[in-house]
């Protein structure tokens, strides 16, 4: 038997498989205010939209997740470059 949170995590993992990928390179606020969760430059990430959080793009910030769908944290949208 699974809980809502487990089902939500499974849904994020399924979305991560087909999501647009981005390369993280710190710019703006991510340069001078590094948080413990801020990924290393060159890390491949996807945009995530955690439940109950402000929409991505609000005030120039967005949530990112690793390629397994696990949410990493909030970063500056200018720090993301789309991988073609």
DSSP of 2-48, one letter per residue? Answer: --HHHHHHHHHHHHHHHSPEEEE---THHHHS--TTPPPTT-EEEEE
User: What's the confidence (pLDDT) of residue 2?
Assistant: 67
Which residues in the chain come in under a pLDDT of 50?
1
CB 64 within 8 A of CB 73: yes
Split into its structural domains, the chain has a count of 1
CATH number of domain containing 27: 2.30.30
Q: Count of CB atoms within 10 A of residue 46's CB?
A: 22
CA angle 31, 81, 43 (to 5 degrees): 65
The predicted structure's pLDDT at residue 14: 81
pLDDT number for residue 64: 93
């Amino acid at each position: 038997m699974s809980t809502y949170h487990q089902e939500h995590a499974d849904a994020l993992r399924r979305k991560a498989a087909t999501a647009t990928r981005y390369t993280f390179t710190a710019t703006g606020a991510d340069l001078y205010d590094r948080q413990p969760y801020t990924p290393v430059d060159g890390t491949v990430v996807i945009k995530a939209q955690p439940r109950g959080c402000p929409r991505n793009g609000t005030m120039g910030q967005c949530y990112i997740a690793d390629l397994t769908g696990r949410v990493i944290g909030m970063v500056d949208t200018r720090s993301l470059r789309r991988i073609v």
